[in-house]
């Protein structure tokens, strides 16, 4: 009957995992009682979620091993039209594993996440959007975007408020942008090498390497491009520097050069934005360097917000990624130019694993990331994992094997 030793039917366990993937164990316990009539304590839910998460992590590792041995099967027959792999990192707090109850040795740890998407888009003969979209030319929106991305990098909560509602008319207008079909998520606390193999195995399992057009979209983080170089470049994935991160660098540099929030800074930002959007990287670099030379080189001990440092960081960012900034060509090919997909995934993972009161043991964090990643994946991973044979574990809860 494919029953585990937990004392719950498979359908009940699916509900349990769904609830624990969505919210804290305490809230899941309340939700299950109210919505499904299931009375399960929060600590018991935690044991169940971590047990399943650990099993799924082991299954993922087995898939990676099979992939390394060239034995992993492609799970989809039809090749997708367009595929994208987006990589990024988030942060959560850990505590010492063997220190008993309470929080000992709290630390921030980075987890890595990938959003693997199949997309639908058309190849165009000319750039379908030669001008930057309105939201990148809206002072309020750009300031909010810059603050959000900066907060995401620093581990702080993103600022809220100030979001302007789109007008109905505008939201109805469909620009020829790539549209997501199916997304799956890979998330782990492992190092970038192991993460790279996990992403490569998922790309293979989903047959994304067979797509007609494919892209790898990331910010300038070095390990992202190492993963692309090791696993994706030979599969034909086009490297694309995330436009949102570039925009934030340009906005910060313009503010540093002309005064944050000033009209002159906005004019300078708009000029740089136009150059970046049209893929004129040489001209952009030249313009940035002119400003950099005017301010001078930053001293070694310059503060993080020193204008000279901010501008030269932007120069370095553009210089280091200039071969991944052919945006008109990417738009013509119907490829995504922003990593908004993985930014959204990070936000959704954070919502479950990050919080001022959440401190995870390493194994627990890895297990819960698997449960949350399965919840965020749109390929029926919950059901697929549910059908797999499971290792026999100890019974969870007392008296479940008792005689009556």
Interface residues toward other proteins, by CB under 8 A: 1, 3, 7-9, 11-12, 15, 36-38, 392, 399-404
Q: Which is nearer to other proteins, 234 or 401 (CB)?
A: 401
Strand pairing report for 82-94 and 213-218: parallel
Q: Which is nearer to other proteins, 29 or 118 (CB)?
A: 29
CA 239 to CA 87: how far, in whole Å? 12
Q: Which is nearer to other proteins, 163 or 403 (CB)?
A: 403
Smallest separation (angstroms) from other proteins to the CB of 44: 11
Cα–Cα distances (Å) from 185 to 90, 135, 285, in that order, read: 13, 27, 35
Q: Which is nearer to other proteins, 37 or 102 (CB)?
A: 37
H or E element in which residue 86 lies = strand 82-94
Q: Which is nearer to other proteins, 164 or 400 (CB)?
A: 400
Smallest separation (angstroms) from other proteins to the CB of 380: 19
Q: Which is nearer to other proteins, 222 or 392 (CB)?
A: 392
Residues 6+ apart with CB under 8 A from 211: 79, 80, 81, 82, 83, 118
Smallest separation (angstroms) from other proteins to the CB of 8: 5
- Scored b (16 or more CB within 10 A) or e, 325-352 reads bbbbebbbbbbbbbbebbbebbebbbeb
Smallest separation (angstroms) from other proteins to the CB of 23: 19
Smallest separation (angstroms) from other proteins to the CB of 373: 25
- 110 three-state secondary structure: strand
CA distance from start to end of the chain: 21
The number of residues making up the chain comes to: 404
Q: Which is nearer to other proteins, 15 or 209 (CB)?
A: 15
Smallest separation (angstroms) from other proteins to the CB of 208: 36
The closest of 308, 302, 263, 271 to 289, measured between CA atoms, is 308
Q: Which is nearer to other proteins, 102 or 398 (CB)?
A: 398
Smallest separation (angstroms) from other proteins to the CB of 43: 16
Q: Let me know if 224 is exposed, middle or buried by CB neighbors in 10 A (0-12, 13-18, 19+).
A: buried
Smallest separation (angstroms) from other proteins to the CB of 389: 10
Which residues sit opposite 89 in a β-bridge? Answer: 112
| Residue the block writes with tokens 């290792």 | 391
Rounded to 5°, the CA angle 108-110-116 comes to: 150
- 118 three-state secondary structure: strand
Q: Which is nearer to other proteins, 33 or 151 (CB)?
A: 33
The closest of 187, 182, 183 to 56, measured between CA atoms, is 187
Smallest separation (angstroms) from other proteins to the CB of 363: 22
Smallest separation (angstroms) from other proteins to the CB of 375: 19
H or E element in which residue 47 lies = helix 42-68
Note whether 245 and 86 are within 8 A (CB).
no
Q: Which is nearer to other proteins, 20 or 339 (CB)?
A: 20
Query: Measured on CA atoms in the order 255, 259, 262, 263, is the torsion positive or negative?
Result: negative
């Amino acid at each position: 009957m494919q029953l585990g030793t937990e004392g719950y039917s498979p359908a009940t366990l699916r509900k349990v995992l769904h609830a624990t993937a969505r919210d804290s164990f305490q809230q899941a316990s309340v939700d299950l009682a109210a919505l499904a009539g299931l009375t399960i304590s929060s600590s018991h839910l935690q044991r169940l979620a971590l047990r399943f998460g650990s099993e799924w992590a082991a299954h993922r590792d087995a898939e990676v091993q099979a992939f390394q041995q060239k034995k992993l099967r492609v799970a989809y027959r039809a090749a997708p039209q367009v595929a994208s792999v987006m990589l990024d990192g988030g942060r959560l707090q850990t505590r010492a594993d063997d220190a008993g109850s309470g929080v000992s040795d709290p630390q921030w740890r980075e987890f890595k996440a990938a959003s693997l998407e199949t997309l639908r888009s058309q190849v165009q003969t000319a750039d379908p959007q030669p001008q930057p979209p309105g939201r990148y030319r809206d002072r309020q929106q750009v300031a909010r975007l810059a603050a959000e991305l900066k907060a995401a990098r620093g581990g702080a909560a993103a600022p809220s408020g100030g979001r302007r509602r789109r007008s109905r008319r505008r939201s109805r207008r469909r620009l020829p942008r790539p549209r997501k079909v199916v997304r799956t998520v890979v998330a782990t606390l492992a190092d970038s090498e192991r993460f790279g193999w996990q992403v490569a195995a998922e790309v293979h399992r989903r047959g994304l390497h067979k797509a007609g057009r494919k892209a790898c979209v990331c910010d300038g983080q070095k390990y992202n491009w190492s993963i692309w170089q090791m696993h994706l470049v030979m599969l034909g994935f086009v490297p694309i520097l995330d436009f949102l991160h570039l925009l934030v660098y340009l906005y910060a540099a313009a503010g540093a050069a002309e005064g944050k929030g000033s009209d002159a800074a906005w004019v300078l930002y708009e000029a740089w934005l136009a150059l970046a959007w049209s893929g004129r990287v040489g001209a952009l670099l030249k313009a940035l360097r002119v400003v950099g030379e005017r301010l001078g080189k930053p001293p070694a001990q310059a503060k993080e917000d020193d204008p000279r440092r901010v501008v030269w960081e932007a120069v370095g960012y553009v210089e280091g990624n200039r071969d991944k900034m052919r945006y008109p060509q990417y738009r013509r090919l119907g490829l995504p130019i922003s990593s908004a997909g993985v930014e959204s995934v990070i936000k959704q993972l954070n919502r479950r694993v990050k919080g001022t009161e959440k401190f995870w043991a390493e194994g627990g964090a890895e297990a819960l990331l698997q449960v949350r990643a399965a919840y965020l994946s749109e390929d029926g991973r919950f059901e697929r994992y549910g059908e797999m044979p499971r290792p026999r574990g100890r019974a969870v809860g007392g008296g479940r094997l008792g005689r009556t």
